Amino acid sequence: MTPRPHSAGEVTIRPVTLDTVREQVAETSRRLALEGLVLGTAGNVSARHGDEVAITPTGAVLAELEAEQVSVVDLEGRQVGGELAPTSEIDLHLGVYRRYDAGAVVHTHAPVATALSCVLEDELPCVHYQMLLLGGTVPVARYATFGTPELATSVLDALEGSSAALMANHGAIVHAKDLGGALELSLLLEWACTVYWRAAAIGEPRVLADEEREAVVAAALSRNYGTTHPVGDDR
């Protein structure tokens, strides 16, 4: 059968390849640096493609990362692509993929999130309805040395029921179905941390009660906002 020609204005949908995912990891890393959520080599990004994971390499300056520098590992952590070794936080990333069936993971040292991770004991309270996109209240994972199995276990436990967590005296982590979603959640988490910090400087922040959160979800569903950003707009 002869393929039919594309009509004017028709969009060609290209399959997502591993090379495309590596490009996305590099692009997301540079964007995080541009937004001030990572500095130098601190922080890491990954995205899953089937049974393989494209992940930032150890020691890479994220603001300058290029696709060919991105490492590729399988779900057991064996390197199958790229010349540079993967980040030391590889166990953390792979654990999120195995346990939560995520499509992308972003770990940052965002300044306000990191500052609050040094102060808050158990959680970042839900003080704004947009935090429901993060799961509402954001848990704080107990401290452990970076790159260790103990840190991975602590963070994975904290992420139960949440798409984001603060890492005590360390930083923040989010996961989503894709890198675009993970980037947006990283930006939202830093914004939420900033709102809480500024509110706490004025007085005791008022936390949204369960019924208030439920009302937001109901209102969002009734307006057909969809499942991607169900509470991100008050139109």
The string of pLDDT tens digits covering residues 85-115 is 999 999 999 999 999 999 999 999 999 999 9
From CA 163, how far away is CA 153, in angstroms rounded?
16
Please tell me whether residue 81 adopts helix, strand or coil conformation: strand
Could you tell me if 25 and 72 are in contact, meaning their C-beta atoms sit under 8 angstroms apart? no
Q: Which residues face 42 on adjacent strands?
A: 39
CA dihedral angle for residue 145, residue 146, residue 149, residue 151, rounded to 10 degrees? 70
Among residues 100, 43, 59, 51, the alpha carbon closest in space to that of 78 is found at 51
Could you tell me if 167 and 99 are in contact, meaning their C-beta atoms sit under 8 angstroms apart? no
User: Is-catalytic flag, 89?
Assistant: yes
Please tell me whether residue 123 adopts helix, strand or coil conformation: strand
The string of pLDDT tens digits covering residues 159-200 is 999 999 999 999 999 999 999 999 999 999 999 999 999 999
Q: Say how many C-beta atoms besides its own lie within 10 A of residue 198's C-beta.
A: 11
Q: What DSSP character marks residue 231?
A: T
Catalytic residue among 83, 89, 123, 160: 89
53 vs 2, residue with greater confidence: 53
